[in-house]
Amino acid sequence: MSRIEGLFARENPAFIGFTVAGDPGIEASFGVATTMIDAGVDLLEIAVPYSDPVADGPVIERAHARALRAGTTPDDVFALVRRVREYAPALPLVLFTYYNIVYRRGADRFFAEAAAAGADGVLVVDLPSEESGEVAPYAARHGIDRIALIAPTTSPERQHAILREASGFVYLISLEGVTGERDRLPSGIVGLVGAVREKTDLPLAVGFGISRQEHVRTVTATGANGVIVGSALVRLIEEHSSDETGMHEALATAITALRDGLTPRS
């Protein structure tokens, strides 16, 4: 059983945290990851910094920019994943990336290095299912799950096509638009979780816009297997980028509060 399978085999929903590798610096990024792990994230998404992160809103865009200004390269990202894997041997780790990075490195090399570093899954944000053959053989060769994205606007037919290629878990986008904190989540989340649940046995995790304890409670009450929080945590890194101790304290406090919104399975 893989680490991702083991996580979602538990009865209770998972809390998934997100960070951009190299934000606000290479070494500081490792401290961010360990703080998030110690605070209780069940799975950690680590983004490979990219100059044009089209799926991301302003908060995470700025994190990508900070990481790139710090000189973060894919080699640094894999080194970070290795360190995090050593720190937390049982924790599932997923790389969040854009296809240009995979293409430039070579898909076989990218997935081989991801596996060697200790990653369990890869989410290629901007690679449509029609082009999944560009990476599918290499992910399978190196034992890496390919995390799929499904949006509220994804048609039922397209959902089926995406799910045929997916493994690990399915990332359900809660809203139309880019990442970023929202005051309220769309009412359609319940319907989206239910519609996709009818088509797959894979675990379902919901992300985009989730920033409050009540959001976490709402999502887990739909029967989703996991909740993904990104911008709300990345914003704390930005706000405390010159105060490492304050950054770690803010992250730990936020994760603890957000986790309190998880609804145990009855």
Q: What is the pLDDT of residues 81-96, one digit of tens each?
A: 999 999 999 999 999 9
- Active-site residue identified among 45, 76, 145, 181: 45
Chain mean pLDDT for the chain = 93
Above 80 in pLDDT, residue 179? no
Give the residue-averaged pLDDT of 183-196: 81
Which range of residues forms the domain containing residue 44?
Answer: 3-259
265 within domain boundaries:
no
Does a structural domain hold residue 141?
yes
Residue 125 maps to a domain: yes
Backbone angles phi, psi at 150, to 5 degrees: -130, 130
Q: Active-site residue 23, yes or no?
A: no
pLDDT band at 56 (very low <50, low <70, confident <90, very high): confident
Q: Is 7 domain-assigned?
A: yes
Q: Answer yes or no: is 264 within a domain.
A: no
**What percent of the chain has a predicted confidence (pLDDT) above 90?**
85
Strands of the chain, DSSP E: 14-20, 43-47, 93-97, 121-124, 145-146, 148-150, 170-173, 204-207, 226-229
| Residue 155 domain-assigned (yes or no) | yes
235 assigned to some structural domain: yes
CB 248 within 8 A of CB 230: no
d(CA 262, CA 257): 10
Note the Cα 9 to chain centre separation in Å: 18
117 close to 142: Cβ distance less than 8 angstroms: no
For residues 178 and 198, the model is more confident at 198
Token readout for 35 is 């703080």
Helices 156-165/189-197 angle, 10° precision: 60
pLDDT bucket at 180, cuts 50 / 70 / 90:
low
Average pLDDT of the residues in 13-27: 97
Q: How many domains, the chain?
A: 1
In a domain, 266, yes or no: no
Residue 46 β-bridge partners: 19, 95
* CA-based nearest residue to 46, from 90, 3, 83: 83
CATH number of the domain where residue 40 is located: 3.20.20.70
- Whether the per-residue pLDDT at 128 is higher than 60: the answer is yes
In whole angstroms, give the CA distance from residue 253 to residue 245: 12
Mean pLDDT of 178-201: 80
> If pLDDT is split at 50, 70 and 90, which confidence band does 266 have?
low
Q: Could you confirm whether 45 is annotated as catalytic?
A: yes
For the four alpha carbons of 68, 69, 75 and 78, in that order, the dihedral sign comes to negative
pLDDT tier for residue 264 given thresholds of 50, 70 and 90: confident
Residue of 42, 56, 76, 145 with catalytic role: 56
Query: Is residue 209 scored above 90 in pLDDT?
Result: no
User: What is the predicted pLDDT for the residue at 136?
Assistant: 95
Cα-flanking dihedrals φ and ψ of residue 14, to 5°?
A: -100, 145
Give φ, ψ of 145 to 5 degrees: -70, 140
